[in-house]
Each structure stands twice: as C-alpha cells, then as structure tokens.
Structure 1
Amino acid sequence: MRLSALFIRLAAFCLAAIVCGFAARAVVTTVETRSVETVGVALEEQGHAFASVLGDGLQVILEGEAPSEAMRFRAISTAGGMVDASRVIDNMTVEDSAGIVAPEFSLEILRNDSGISIIGLIPALSDRDDLTETLTDMAGENSNFADFLTTADYDVPDGWDGAVAFAVRALRQLPRSKISVRAGRVAVEAISDSREQKAQLEISLRRASPDDLLITLNISAPRPVVSPFVTRFIIDENGRRFDSCVADTAAAESRIVAAAQAAGVEGQIGCMVALGAPTTRWADAVTMSIAALDDLGGGTVTLSDADIILVARTGAVEGNFDRVAGELENALPEIFALEAILPATPTQSNEGPPQFIATLSPEGLVQLRGRMSTELLNSTAENFARAKFGSADISMATRVVDGLPSNWSIRVLAGIAALSQLSNGSVVVEPADIVVRGNTGSPAASGEIIRLLIEKLGEAEEFEVSVTYVEELDPIAALPTTEECLGQIMNVTESRKIRFEPSSATIAGAGAAILDDIKEILQRCADLRIEIAGYTDSQGSEDGNQRLSQQRADAVLEGLRVRRVPVASFRSVGYGEADPIADNETADGREANRRIEFSLIVPESTEELTGLDQIEAEAALEAAAVEDTAAPEDLNE
C-alpha cells in the first residue's frame, strides 16, 4: 500500500517536471523570437542592413561584414539598446580597408629675369638632384634658384619622367614662363617678344613633344612699343585709306575704325594696338582729325605723337580750309599741336624735278639710279644699300650733278631704308616728295616706313606710302589654317586608297606613299587636332568589325608617328560597321564602307581656360575650329 502511494507520487513529480520543461522551452523560444525580431527591426531602421541576427536561447548573435569598424560598433550598440547588452554576441567581421591612394604628383616651374623657382610634390624615387642641378645651371650664377619641392614615397607614375623632361626642354626656350607638370600632361604659359617668335615657339615645342604627352600652350606676344606713335589718313584720287594706323587700346581701335568708315573707307580695316601713345585721348584726336580731313574733301592728316600735320589737297578753298583747321585746333585735346598746310598751286614747268629711284625685285636684285649730289653720297648710298639688303647684288646707275637740295643725301638714305622694309617695290625721291610703293609680308611695314620717314625728314615733309600686304609673303600668315590642312589631306586622299591586307591592319600597296604625302602636309600645320576614324562593312560579327576598324585606325596613326609627325594631339577611333555611306548588300557598297575618315577634333566648349584646366579642353588657340570631315579614305579587306 505504501509502495503504491510512493510510485504514484514519483509519477506525478516526473509529469510535473516534464510539463515545466516544455513550458520553460516555450517561454525561451518566445523570448528568443521577439528579441531577434526587435533587434533586426532596429538594425534595419538605423541603416545597418549588413548585420544579420540569429537567436540562441536568450543570446542574440550578430553576423555579417561591416563596412568599417565604426559601423560595426554602431550595430552592436543598436542591438544592445534593444536587449540586455550582455546577451549580444558579436560575430561580425570588418571589410579590409582600401590601400592609401597615392597623391597626384605635380610641380610648377616659374622663370623670369630674376631667376627660377620650382614648387610641387614629386615622387621620392624621381631624380630630384638632377632636376634641381639642371635648373640651377639654367638660372645661371647671377640669378636665383628657389627649390620648394616636397617628396612622397610612392611609385613614379607613368608619364611623369617624360613630362618633366619636356618641361625642362621648354623652359630653356622660354625665359619668361610658367610651366605646370603632371604625369603625362604639361601646360605652358609664356610671353614671347613678337608674334613671329610666338608662332615659331609653338611649332618648335609641339614638334619636340613626345607622342604620349598631352601639352597645352598659351604663349602670348606683348603689345609692341611704337615710337613715334603715328597714324596717317589719306583722301586722294585713289580713295580713302590709312597709310598707318596705331591705337593704344582695342576700344580706341574700334573708334578709329568707325571714324574711317564714316569717312568712306570700305572693306576690312584695322589698327595696330601698341604701347607708346602720348595720351589716353589718342582716339579723340585721331577721330577728330579724320572727320576734319573728310570735311576738307581731300589731303592727308598725320598724327605723330602729339604733333598733327593737316595738309589739304591742292586747290582747296582757302576759306573752307581756315574754318576746318580752326574748328579742329579748338576741339583737340590740349596736349596736341596742329600745323595746317594749304599747298600753293604749282607752276607749270617743262623740266621735271630731279629724282633718285631705287628698286627691289622679287629675286632680291637692288638697282639704284638717278641723281646724286656728291661722290661721297654715291659711295655711301651703295654701301648703305649693301648693309640694308644684305646682298652684293647691287646695280648702280647713278650720276653726280650739281644744284640738288641741301637735304638730298638725307632723303636718298631715308628712301633706301624705307625700301628695305619691303619684299619688293620701289622708292622715288624728289625734292618735294618721296613715294614708296611695293609689296610686303609684314602687316606693320607701312606704319614702320611712315615712322621712319617722319623721324628722318620731319612731320611736315610730303611723302606717299603705298604698300600692299601680301599674305603669301608673310611667313606666319602663310601657314595653312586647320581647315586648309584638312582640305589638303582631302586632295591627297580623293583618288587614292590606303589599302590593308585582307582581314588585317597591315597597310599594303600604295598606302605608305599616301601617308608620306599626308606627313608633308601635317608638318606645315601647327597645333592641329585630328581624329582618324576607322569603319568596316557589315560582314562578320559586330565586335570583330569594331576591333578591326580600331586596329586599322591605330595603324594609320602609328604610320604617321613613325614618320615623325607630331601626333600627340591626334586620336584614333574604330567605329566598326556604324554609319555606312553605301549599301552593304553590294560589293561596291561594302568597298565604300571600308574606309578611314579624317576630321577635326572640335572643342566641346568655347570658353577660354587657363593653366592645367586647358589640358582637358581642345586648343583654341585663336578661334574654335569648325568641324569638317575629309573625304572617305577607303580600306580593303
């Protein structure tokens, strides 16, 4: 009886224990589920979706890869805010930190009359000592060299050494410059002495630049200093024109040109903008003088610094002349002095005035003929001509006579000096007049001749300068424009084809001769940016056609490179079977579509940029090029 009761009690205890165990497990499961859900929602709201939440009884386990140690810590803190922090188990990892990125190395070199300074960050492995030694030698003993370079211990980037070498080479040619260098890129800002030197420097530097170096040149030519500051306006039977026109500012030039146009000058005209004006009111004096001469109806007006010579035409009405001259004299700025001349009517004579005539042929032959006052002047004139023209080919046909004016020797030598400013022409010297006529390749020649004659003879002397600027004689202006260069390439490629071996980028047949002709054209073209585009027909796969067209465009570019064409500003692009110009269903159409096209690379923006920003822009050195595409250059499969 007692044993049975004990068994019943033991069974009841076991049953109670089992029930309690199940109840405890249910409670733990509920707590675990709610903890996981609560922590997961909190992590999601705080932007820690990288962390996943697992439950293990009362413990909350965080797993996943945190972007950073800070994000890992924030995730743990968020979980600890939802449940007891002691229940949070951290099994998260942290992403590997990215390696420290090497800095962008750059340096800037400044050079002027006081010396050279260099500043920037360069690789520690580059040859700093050699660079500084070279620049120190370049600066010279009497100039300063300032070294503000710092180094960083990183690998030398590709293109760095070539950029630095080119910068040093450019610096040797540019005594007043700033050169900025980055890997594969160089920007040059400099001042030249003249526009001719500017063009020569640009051509020289572009030809010397490595093919893989992107350079930007911003070389300026300062305004010339003109003395005396001369403007001369003429109205005669040949029309209305400037013999010389100089302005002190661009705004003054616009006003002077407008006054000349109002006086009847036609066509495109312009003035040299230069330094040396006697006053900021130069444009006022010039415009008043032009208007006065127009009112007179003919003659010349010459402004030389602050002196103004107004010469009326022969036969002008005296009363009208006095009125115009008086109004002009009272209206001029105070600094200017006016001399008004009304020529007397010449008397008739059967004998012409004595003359000295000098001529210069296009071949360089100089002939002197006419009258000389003394044997000494005759010998002096010959020697002076040899010195001025640099030639022994001087033909003398002069004779010594009596009765010539006392200033005849000055007028003869001034005439020879004036002739030396021309490419070809003549000068006629008479007692009352000097006439210079001819052609020149310098836009400033007419002004230079007038200033020379005024300096030697005086402002009141009569002379006529009729000089024609011929662009073909100008070594700078004769350089072809970008459009003309591309047009010449079109002429070369119109009737001939660059042929390639079948399914390859190897140039075959007469292609090499065509590249030789293109090389001759490109070597005469400065600062040219060209895209060489390759195209195929539609046979074959699209990817294969694109690769072949790129390889063929690259082959043309490489062909020009090995011919020592400066192609640093060129690019080659393969367009595959895109943009067909004929029907790919016919053999002739496919032949036409297999082609190379040359086109100008046009700037995306016409905004003027400076410094290294220009490196990313298309050069505009004067005006933006107008896009033009050459005639197709066919390719053969």
Structure 2
Amino acid sequence: MGKWLLGILLLVIGAAAYALIMGPKISENMGDDIRAALQNQNYDWAGVEMNGHIATVTGNAPSNDAARGAVETAQNTVCSDCQTDSPWHRVLSDVTVTTSQQVQAVEPPAATVESPYTFSVTKLEDGNVTLDGYVGNAQERDSVLAKANTAFSESVQSASVEIASGAPDENWVSVIEQGIEELALMDSGRFQLENNNFLIHGQASSAEIRERINNFASDVPAAYNGASNINVPNLASDVIGQVESQAICQTLFDDLNEGTKIEFPSGQSDITGDSSFDLLAEISAAANQCQNFRIQIDGYTDNTGDTEANQQLSERRANRVLAYLTQQGVERNRMTATGHGESNPIGDNATAQGQEMNRRTTFTLTQAQ
C-alpha cells in the first residue's frame, strides 16, 4: 500500500472516530442549548429530545400560540458547539395543546404564506403527468405524490409541490386527491385549483367517464366551487359549473386553442374546416362557463402580401370569430375583436412553418367591469 493511500485511510478512520466520539456530545450540547432557550422564553412546560441532529420538542402547551412559539424558539436556537452561526439541527414537534375541549398535535408552522393558493395536475396525451402547487406540510406532500404515482402508474415526470400555508380549509388535499383520481380516467387534461375554485377539463373517451367527472365537480365540499369541461369525441359539449378564477379560465382557453386553430382560406375571412367549428364550439362553451370575464379576440397574419391588406384581413377575421361566437350564445358586449396584421410574429416568416404559426387567433380574458 502506498503512503498516500495509507494517509487517506488514516484520515477516513480518524474522521469516523471523531464523528462517533463527538457527534453524540454535540447533539447533547445542542439539546442543552435548546432547553436554555426555551427557559429564557418562559416555555417552562416544554422539553426537547435529541436524536443526532433531530430535535423533537415535547410537552403540553397551554395554547396554540405557545406551542408554535416553543417550536420556533427551538428552530432558531444556534448550536454553541458548532462552527456556524446558523441553526445546525432540524426540529420536529410532539407538542400537544391542552384545552377544556381537546388535545391536538401542533406542527411547525409553514415557512411562507401563499396567495393565491394554487395546485395543478396536467396529464399529456402521451400519458406523462406534471404536478405543481402548494400543500401545508410534508405529510400532505407525501400523500399527494403517493396518490399521483399510484393513479398514473408511476407516470409523474415532474413534481414541484411546495410547502406553504394559505390553504382555504382542511379539505384542500382531499380535493386534490379526488381530482387526481378523476384526471387519471381521462385521455389528457388538467385539474387546476386556485383557492376554493377548481376546474377539471380535457379529453375523455366516453360519456360515462364524463358523467362521473361531472358528478365529482358537482359534489364537492361546501366551501369549494367546482366546474368541469370534458370533451368526448362526436358528442356535444356538456360543461358543469361556473369558473370564478381568471387564471383558470385563461388556462382553459389556452389549452383549447393549443394544437388546433381556426382556419381561413388564403386572403379571406370565411371560417372553414370541421376542426375550426369544433374548436369554436368548445370556445363558446368555455366562454359561457367563464361569464365573469371579458374576451379579447386578436387576429394575426403572416407577412405574405401587402402590409395594409394584411391588417384589414386580420381585422375581418377577428370580427368574423366574434360574430360566430355571438351566434353561439356568447354575449356580444363581453367580446372585443382586434386585428394586428403581420405584427407580433411568434414564428420566422422566412419559413413556411413560421408563417403557419403567425397566422393565428388568440383569446385573452380580462376582468369584467
């Protein structure tokens, strides 16, 4: 064995021995530091149990505020034996609050308060699933992720689930998990919550699945406003509930308008193609489901031909869409149509693909006055 290998081995052995000898001592001293801090803050009822770097606060607190204060004191205590001025440890709570009515467990408070409080689950056509949003604690996060992995057969590709306070009530996670179960039955779609409002929308293979999801949206805890917008091939739209969130309504319109577009013959403003009218039927249903919001219809062209002619063409096309939606029962006074010609391109007009991207109709929702 070379001298350098022997030296590394001796260093490793020495580090391990130091950890074995000093680790328990540092943990014991950390416990003493926390106990002293609790005493200084008059939390005489509180104790602490150390297990390595894990400090568990114990005791019977006289109030919720006292329980939270003790946990926060433990979290903020600095280790006097550590080479750092920041907390060295992790704090758990086994504190109970004793009142004349109940004894309840108290968890450490969430780090932040989020408003609006949101959550979304998206299932793509290829089966991949993403989760994004907030829950109240680590146990709730673990529960939601376990439910998603089970319901979607381990197809969750991305999960950004953060811990924060601000949930509308104690049913938040239950509603999320029910939504996950329903979304798993669909071919593709999205389940989106904002505070106590939610919408589940997308594509289902049968009327039976749609009926089940509609029943879910209709039968929710009293504090929640549920809605569904499920499309089934060869069946008319059947939507349930009103959507009270502008952000959720905008996402609904964006999802409907993605991948399918309203088609017009070259240089003309007459709507053409079955897919165009199918999309407009879905847009009409969504508009009537989002009655609290105005709809801005914007038309764009590519750069082929005269600039002024393109401007006028985009205006005629946007107004033609507005007129069709009015015929479908969308209130005329909620809609505005504007043509932008070849301005604001999203693709490269030097390519056929880019020009195709630039010929588009978009829908933007704003709060009704």
TM over 0.5: no
Q: Which has the higher contact order (CA 8 A, sep 6+)?
A: 2
* TM-score normalised by the chain length of structure 2: 0.37
Q: Rg larger in 1 or in 2?
A: 1
Q: TM (normalized to structure 1)? A: 0.23
